[in-house]
Structure 1
Amino acid sequence: MRIRALIALAATVLALVVPLGAAGTAHADRTPGDQPLPGYTIENPPLPPAQVDGEPTRVSQGVHRHSAYIIEVPPDWNGKLVLYAHGYAGQGFVLRVGPPPFGLRQRLLDQGYAWAASSYYRNGYDVRAGVLSTRDVAELFADKVGRPEQRLIVGVSMGGHVIGRSIEQFPRYYDGALPMCGVLGDHELFDFFLDYNLVAQDLAGVREYPVTDQYATVTVPKIMENLGLTGLTPGGPDTTNERGKQFRAIAINRTGGPRPGDAQAFAVWKDFPFSLASPPVPDATLAENPDQLSTNLFTRYEPNEPFDVNASVQRVRPENLPARLSNRLSQIPRINGRPQIPVLSLHGLGDMFVPFSMEQIYASEVARHHRSRLLVQRAIRTIQHCEFSATEAGTAWDDLVRWVDAGRRPAGDVTTKPQVVADPEYGCGFSDRAAYDAGAGTRRLFPACP
């Protein structure tokens, strides 16, 4: 399974990013740093300066170490810098860069922060490119503007993977982190995509893995029909049969467990994970085919009744086991759960593209390393990927700043206790009530909070 189907989402969310391999390093040795790597072009149209108290900001744009960049400095700079790590940008060959989303650009500038962002030197799911290019633009900022007294890093989706690895790759280089809808569970995201397809095939009695060119057009419709998923819609009647109900329960458990809005979220996302499966491509890099890392050899699916899925499901070994086990900075690197700085994260409860389980995996790993004091997580009652309001993102940012500057650890949600997550009011604490009242996005698929 590859992730080319994610390209459509990238345009709306500025989603994930991918790492670089040995071939990319060789190209970098031959290509001037103010040009993109061979095969790539750059789109970096002029960004009009923002206004802060009636004065324009200073915007600098260009190409540095094969990546497009934007730097923006407010008129009264407070000496602090925010790095923005964007998400997955597809498998194309045009590099693009943009400002922080959810109204954060103006909020940062109004508070006196400068910000900088990189396109990364490669597209694809290349976290290594994101980690290195984000550090490069921070150092470029120091050369062009001045060395900041503080660096904070903000990112979405794959940018959350970039953040999770960056703060471990360069300990103490950053002072605080705000990953939103982030891939904090690293390889396990791709395990979930594999799980979804294999379990659906097993329960539907239609096996096709590795998939062929006819998977989307012939096999998936059979799977959907055999499980009663074809006519399932959010808020509509439950069309699933006995096997479909077990499949839905397994998918819910693999994405965070029983929680508010889980059935509605499944109905919204039921088709999408099938679209991520595509035929193998010979000699593909990890960035081009993350499924090389996927495995379900030791996964135990629950519930395992009325049908014994664990006994009958196809088991798949990781195609690239050395890459999965390696702790090196690769295109899809591990995040070990060893933050040394405050981390505040946001995640949609019903997101099944980058599932809420990513937060649970990260929280467990952080706890295993006795660093839970450095992690605060917040659940937002939304279903689409990276569906946050300006209020939710802005409040999280302000709380992170107070934590970093004044040591005031903010409140958050418990993510690793099933009975807490399953509470009907879970996620109400930090979800934007005004967005719910306005009927924004998928918010009304959840019951109203008290």
Structure 2
Amino acid sequence: MRKIAAVAAAAAACAAAVLAAPSGPAYAASGAFTGTLTDGASWVADVPAHWNHTLILYSHGYGPLTAQDAPDAATKTQLLAAGYALVGSSYSGPSWWAMASAVDDQFSSLAAASRITGRPHRTIAWGTSMGGLVSALEAQDRRHLVDGALTTCGLVAGALNLNDYQLYGEYALAHLLAPGQPVKLVRYTDAADAGAAAQSLSTVVAANQGTAAGRARIALGAVLLNEPGWYTGPAAPGPRDYAGQEAQQEQEIATFLLPFIMTARQQVELAAGGNSSATKGVDFGAVLDSSAHAGEVRALYRAAGLNLETDLRRLTRDADIKADPAAVAALARTSMVSGHLGVPELDIHTIADQLVPVEQENWYGKLVERRGGGPLLRQAYVNTTGHCAFQPAETIAALHAVEHRLGTGRWDATTSPGALNAAAGGTGRYVRYEPPRLAGGLGEPR
């Protein structure tokens, strides 16, 4: 424990130190700044009076295209008080899935901020959710415009994985729970079309929760969606409390998840120029077998007296959705990582994330390892439920760990749960955790 405390103290001291002014243009101004890029995106920057010469390039998540330079007001206040300058852009669209423009817009915003501050001693990319995918892409950019990256609740497995496994779960729910009620799952004409489909499927899920057969099939859909069995409450249901896990999954799917992801799919399709996902040719039995949570499904099917293999064969036999090759190519180009890291990166994730399942970290970690970037990447996990449900102290502790790596060339023990908890003031929520394999999608990274 003394070693962990010492490492945490060293990391905090490294982060708090005011660095010597770099060469380049003199530090010019402090305050809040805004501007517009040539493609129409806006940017915002905040520069403290006593700048520590570290610039944080913040990438916001999926949502309205509004410029943002910190994840929340409390974190922003603490970062500015500690001397960090902040900058971030709105991205320029054409939809809320703005991955085609996000990285370039962020780097253009960085250039704009640097003209105000002077050249920073170091620049750290920090991204949240979809913005975590942006920061992961920035971390592999060959121009080396950032020195390190902090990815929080990041969509690091990319859009093709996300769209595939979400479609698998939606298809299973629609096809097994409402076989005579067609639910539109792809190629939405507009936001209203997607919203109507989401409402229809959410209603179907809620209506089936009252029977054992319905609960078993909801569990199957949830596992194909990579959904956690913890949505509310201070602690997760027990590892074999399958009924408790399914009850939480039904609640999150019907009331929160489907309305979000099905309307988001329309925005992704708008950006990609079509549908990138397919069910045709998918072996749904193999997908289920790849999940660490298959035991829940098998137990609930047994309790309901249903034949799971019959349902899985039915899903495989009847699957007929095909992807649009051009849309697949567009998302492969704009919304997937290569795994070739150029700078150190720390990812943090909650263990029960409904929108970006923690299993994405498993897929991403394997990809980076296979590309030879394992020594540059560290991943840490917070024992709570919710998407991006971090406390400001927890994310700032992670930032300090990145700074320690940049300052010393070593991670040391700064990304261990003990060191991160100590650096965060003793929250105690960082835990040792191995994320399960991501079910569905592109399969294991190659």
The verdict on a shared fold, with TM-score over 0.5 as the criterion, is: yes
Confirm or deny: 8 A CA contact 1:389 1:435 kept in the other structure: no
Deviation at 1:204, TM superposition (A): 1.6
Deviation at 1:258, TM superposition (A): 7.8
Spell out, residue by residue over 1:315-345, the C-alpha distance to the aligned partner (whole angstroms, 9 max, x if none): 3555322342468643xx2112221211111
Specify the SS of the correspondent of 1:377.
strand
Question: How many aligned residue pairs are there?
Answer: 352
Candidates 315, 318, 335, aligned match of 2:319: 315
The yes-or-no answer on 1:159 pairing with 2:131 is: yes
The yes-or-no answer on 1:277 pairing with 2:277 is: no
Specify the SS of the correspondent of 1:301.
helix
Partner of 1:324: 328
Distance 1:197 1:161 in 2: 23
The yes-or-no answer on 1:71 pairing with 2:42 is: no
Partner of 1:190: 163
Confirm or deny: 8 A CA contact 2:75 2:392 kept in the other structure: yes
Distance 2:332 2:166 in 1: 23
Confirm or deny: 8 A CA contact 1:68 1:120 kept in the other structure: yes
Partner of 2:175: 202
Candidates 222, 225, 239, aligned match of 2:204: 222
Confirm or deny: 8 A CA contact 1:69 1:117 kept in the other structure: yes
CA gap of 1:77–1:432, structure 2 versus 1, over 3 A, is closer
The yes-or-no answer on 1:298 pairing with 2:282 is: yes
Distance 1:57 1:143 in 2: 12
Partner of 2:109: 137
Spell out, residue by residue over 1:261-313, the C-alpha distance to the aligned partner (whole angstroms, 9 max, x if none): 372752441213332336997xx874457871123443533248542243211
Confirm or deny: 8 A CA contact 1:153 1:177 kept in the other structure: yes
Confirm or deny: 8 A CA contact 1:252 1:258 kept in the other structure: no
Specify the SS of the correspondent of 2:360.
helix
Distance 2:319 2:416 in 1: 35
Distance 1:177 1:113 in 2: 15
The yes-or-no answer on 1:62 pairing with 2:66 is: no
CA gap of 1:216–1:251, structure 2 versus 1, over 3 A, is closer
Distance 1:195 1:184 in 2: 19
2:356 corresponds to which letter in structure 1? V
Spell out, residue by residue over 1:77-135, the C-alpha distance to the aligned partner (whole angstroms, 9 max, x if none): 23321101011124xxx644353437432333344322211112235111122111100
Specify the SS of the correspondent of 1:169.
coil
Confirm or deny: 8 A CA contact 1:379 1:430 kept in the other structure: no
Relative to its length, the structure with more helix (as a share) is: 2
Partner of 1:108: 79
1:251 corresponds to which letter in structure 2? A
Confirm or deny: 8 A CA contact 2:129 2:152 kept in the other structure: yes
CA gap of 1:113–1:315, structure 2 versus 1, over 3 A, is same
Distance 2:54 2:215 in 1: 52
Matches within 5 A, 1:88-103: 88-90=62-64, 95-101=66-72, 103=74
Matches within 5 A, 1:5-404: 57-65=30-38, 66-90=40-64, 95-101=66-72, 103-122=74-93, 123-186=95-158, 187-206=160-179, 208-211=182-185, 215-226=197-208, 228=209, 241-245=212-216, 247-248=218-219, 251-252=222-223, 254-255=225-226, 261=236, 263=245, 266-271=249-254, 272-275=256-259, 276-277=261-262, 286-288=269-271, 292-296=275-279, 297-298=281-282, 300-302=286-288, 303=294, 306-308=307-309, 309-313=311-315, 314-325=318-329, 329-330=333-334, 333-404=335-406
Identity %: 20
1:208 corresponds to which letter in structure 2? P
Distance 2:264 2:41 in 1: 31
Specify the SS of the correspondent of 2:46.
strand
Distance 1:431 1:318 in 2: 47
Distance 1:269 1:82 in 2: 33
2:36 corresponds to which letter in structure 1? V
Confirm or deny: 8 A CA contact 1:265 1:383 kept in the other structure: no
Please, which runs of 5 or more residues in structure 1 have no aligned partner? 1-51, 229-238, 415-426, 437-450
Confirm or deny: 8 A CA contact 2:206 2:250 kept in the other structure: no
Confirm or deny: 8 A CA contact 2:126 2:151 kept in the other structure: yes
Distance 2:272 2:425 in 1: 37
Distance 1:391 1:98 in 2: 17
CA gap of 1:384–1:339, structure 2 versus 1, over 3 A, is same
2:258 corresponds to which letter in structure 1? F
Deviation at 1:398, TM superposition (A): 1.0
Confirm or deny: 8 A CA contact 2:59 2:68 kept in the other structure: no
1:116 corresponds to which letter in structure 2? V
Distance 1:160 1:360 in 2: 15
Distance 2:81 2:72 in 1: 15
Confirm or deny: 8 A CA contact 1:160 1:179 kept in the other structure: yes
Confirm or deny: 8 A CA contact 1:250 1:301 kept in the other structure: no
Distance 2:407 2:424 in 1: 25
Distance 1:413 1:225 in 2: 44
Deviation at 1:59, TM superposition (A): 2.2
Distance 2:229 2:376 in 1: 26
Partner of 1:7: none
State the TM-score, normalized to the length of structure 2.
0.68
RMSD of the alignment, in Å? 3.6
State the TM-score, normalized to the length of structure 1.
0.67
CA gap of 1:205–1:61, structure 2 versus 1, over 3 A, is closer
Deviation at 1:162, TM superposition (A): 1.0
1:245 corresponds to which letter in structure 2? A
Deviation at 1:197, TM superposition (A): 1.0
Please, which runs of 5 or more residues in structure 2 have no aligned partner? 1-17, 19-28, 238-244, 289-293, 299-306, 430-446
Specify the SS of the correspondent of 2:35.
strand
CA gap of 1:218–1:178, structure 2 versus 1, over 3 A, is closer
Partner of 1:13: none
Spell out, residue by residue over 1:153-175, the C-alpha distance to the aligned partner (whole angstroms, 9 max, x if none): 00111101111222223452211
Specify the SS of the correspondent of 1:179.
strand
In terms of mean alpha carbon deviation, does 73-82 or 348-357 score higher? Answer: 73-82
